Amino acid sequence: MKGNIIILSAPSGTGKTTILKRVMPELGPISFSISHTTRDPRVGEQNNVDYHFVSEEEFLQRKDQGDFIEWAKVHGNYYGTSVQAVLQLQEQGQDVVLDIDTQGARQVREKLPESSSIFIIPPSWEEQEKRLRGRGTDDEETIHLRLANAQKELCDIDLFDFVVVNDTLDDAAMMFKAIILTLRAKQRRLANGNPITLL
Ligand code: ADP
Ligand code: 5GP
């Protein structure tokens, strides 16, 4: 059976990466789509693991070649998802998580209407700002830009099939896992007609 395509978006600093790192090892056949970006690596980020870090020239060349299923300029940097990598993982039976912004989510929903989408939101604005600052990876200008963009991204909430509030990490991780298990069960039902069973 082909895997599910799962779009995952959240305003910056909400905790998307933290949730993914927690749940992915517990979910079996699921892979993270490694995006291309022109952003500089953060301390601890590895090339070809967290992102494919590329120059603007290489990014634009790939875009013009049609390598990306979606791409967007987010917080001043380019980000894009390789169509080939996603479809290859899906054919191997892996569920594929696309950690992308809401502009990208809109593009993937149009191109792959069978995809599913999850939006993670923070419990409050105060907590969102606290997390973004607490991460300690961004300068003040970047934090302001990301907070302003976060307000705009929240307006796109209706694009998404599922919304998870990341209040406590334990609860958010449990919700995320429940969604993935439900999608798998639904897919099995579509394939063999059996009732939805959570495995
Ligand atoms: P995103 O990937 O959405 O930009 P991160 O996963 O980098 O966000 O999380 C931003 C910061 O918030 C990190 O320092 C992380 O440890 C913290 N964080 C994430 N989830 C929670 C939570 N449920 N409660 C408290 N802090 C959290
Ligand atoms: P960060 O720089 O914090 O890793 O990511 C910034 C934003 O870019 C996040 O909202 C993240 O989801 C988004 N992003 C990461 N990769 C992609 C991608 O391939 N395409 C799009 N459209 N957004 C991405």
pTM of the model: 0.95
Q: How confident is the model at residue 194 (pLDDT cuts 50, 70, 90)?
A: confident
**Three-class DSSP category at 72:** strand
- Whether residue 95 is contained in a domain is answered as yes
For the cut 70, the answer to whether the pLDDT of residue 11 exceeds it is yes
Q: In angstroms, what CA-CA distances link 140 with 132, 133, 144, 147, 154?
A: 10, 9, 6, 11, 21
Residue 195 lies in a domain: no
Instruction: Count structural domains, the chain.
Output: 1
Q: Could you report the per-residue pLDDT of 45-91, keeping only the tens digit for each?
A: 999 999 999 999 999 999 999 999 999 999 899 999 999 999 999 99
Ligand 2 nearest atom to the CA of residue 17, by list position = 4
38 found inside a domain: yes
Residue 113 lies in a domain: yes
The predicted structure's pLDDT at residue 199: 65
Specify if 50 maps to a domain. Answer: yes
Residues 88-132: tens digit of each pLDDT? 999 999 999 999 999 999 999 999 999 999 999 999 999 999 999
Counting ligands in written order, which one lies closest to the CA of residue 81?
A: 2
- For residues 169 and 127, the answer to whether their CB atoms sit within 8 Å is no
Q: Which of 20, 3, 15, 4 is nearest to 150 (CA)?
A: 15
153 touches ligand 2 (CB under 6 Å): no
Please give the number of the atom of ligand 1 that sits closest to the Cα of 168: 23
* Span 29-40, pLDDT tens digits: 999 999 999 999
* Positive or negative torsion for Cα 38, 42, 43, 46: negative
Q: Tell whether 102 is covered by a domain.
A: yes
Where residue 106 sits, what CATH number does that domain have?
3.40.50.300
Domain span at residue 144? Answer: 5-189
Residues 6+ apart with CB under 8 A from 194: 188
pLDDT digits (tens, 9 = 90+) for 133-191: 998 888 999 999 999 999 999 999 999 999 999 999 999 999 999 999 999 998 888 88
In a domain, 118, yes or no: yes
Tell me, yes or no, whether 194 lies in a domain: no
Q: Tell me if 13 CB under 6 Å of ligand 1.
A: yes
The answer to whether 118 and 111 are in contact (CB under 8 A) is no
**195: which 2 tokens?**
């009732």
Q: Which ligand is nearest to the CA of 69?
A: 2
